[in-house]
Amino acid sequence: MEANSDVIIIGGGLAGLTSAIHLLKSGLKVILIEKNEFPKHKVCGEYISNEVIPYFESLRLKIADLKPSNIDKLEFSDANGKIISCQLPLGGFGISRYLLDNYLFEKAKEQGCEIIQDSVIDIQFIENEFYISTSNALKLKSKIAIGAFGKRSNIDQKLNRDFIQKKSPWLAVKAHYSGIFSADLVGLHNFEGGYCGVSKIENDTINICYLVDYEAFKKHKNIEEFQSEVIYRNPNLKSIFESSNLLFEKPLTISQICFEKKATVENHILMIGDTAGLIHPLCGNGMAMAIHSAKIASELTIDFFNKSINSRKELEEKYIQQWNTNFKSRLAMGRVLSKIVQHEKLASFLMQLLVLFPFMLPIIIQKTHGKPLILKS
């Protein structure tokens, strides 16, 4: 089978689906390739800053219909359990990727997106066109290709991206629970070797997702032993886990999570979401950044087809510039914060500062978050 499209999006996660909906709104023909079926659980903190709400509304996406939790408070603790709290500057909402991604998937289909369940095995850029091959022998051609294939993919290896050559030490674990936890609160609790986010999502369900150094984790027989012997040393986490009941058969895991810098454009492919850069989960803003990157790439792609951007070179330069303007400092702050909380003495010093000067915590949060996203008219 052969097919042509204006835009091909590789990956049907949060960024890919949002971009598809945005591009379809402008009348472009879009093909989206996703290897997995919907709906599907993903390892994710499942908290989104309210900065995305105006943008979603402009795309006629009614997230409130999904009944997310509304969150406006943060509780932060060090590995010993000492807590500080603050109001979140913009607030946010909790919603599962299982529900949200499937909602966006259905909306993209409704608006005419051709969605192909398949795996991309090759991408060639020849004479200003993309030629994409899949494992089911599909041959697809487009003017623009957008990479939204997540944190780590065989396509990264195919493109020989720099970060894929390096081994990453991070492992993430996530599960849903029933139990008692404030619906308006996101908890961020540190433990030796990692940190854990806790918040309510839809249906009064608790999402618990933590990031840990794999070398620290593998000293233990299994997840249960690691949690009881390491995570439970933080009394706040011990209380949350012991008062909650696991709703999954077993927790989900993902390894080799990389927070190194990634190229925003590779082989002329515009990278969005985690494919372009991943902020440390302790910043709680990865989902909003993925959505924002989809907005930037989509608006510039529309300008390219409308001829207000005159060349592919100009398109790529503007995308890199806008990505750096919106995300470079936030990603850098995320890396700095991660190093601080992973160093016992630095983390203790930071906690002492925040106790003495509590106004600093919302300022730090603002450094990793953006402003409300408004669709370009």
Q: What pLDDT was estimated at residue 30?
A: 98
Which residues lie closer than 8 Å to 121 by C-beta, 6 or more apart? 133, 134, 135, 154, 158
Per-residue pLDDT tens over the stretch 19-73: 999 999 999 999 999 999 999 999 999 999 999 999 999 999 999 999 999 999 9
| Most confident listed range (252-256, 296-300, 350-354) | 296-300
Is 293's pLDDT higher than 70? yes
CA distances from 304 to 111, 113, 130, 351 (A): 21, 20, 15, 48
Q: What pLDDT was estimated at residue 335?
A: 76
Q: What pLDDT was estimated at residue 282?
A: 64
Is 256's pLDDT higher than 80? yes
Per-residue pLDDT tens over the stretch 326-366: 988 888 877 777 777 667 677 677 777 776 777 777 777 77
Per-residue pLDDT tens over the stretch 193-227: 888 999 999 999 999 999 998 888 989 989 999 99
Q: What pLDDT was estimated at residue 221?
A: 87
Reference 7, options 202, 141, 205, 149; nearest CA is 141
Is 77's pLDDT higher than 80? yes
For residues 309-338, average pLDDT? 90
Q: What pLDDT was estimated at residue 274?
A: 92
Residue 337's H or E segment, with its range, is helix 329-341
Rounded distance between C-alpha atoms, residue 373 and residue 51, angstroms? 6
Is 78's pLDDT higher than 90? no
- Strands 185-191 vs 194-200: parallel, antiparallel or unpaired: antiparallel
Rounded distance between C-alpha atoms, residue 178 and residue 364, angstroms? 31
Rounded distance between C-alpha atoms, residue 138 and residue 136, angstroms? 6
Q: What pLDDT was estimated at residue 376?
A: 74
For residues 137-166, average pLDDT? 90
Residue 264: CB atoms within 10 Å:
25
Q: What pLDDT was estimated at residue 1?
A: 62
Rounded distance between C-alpha atoms, residue 34 and residue 17, angstroms? 10
Q: Which two tokens stand for residue 375?
A: 């669709």
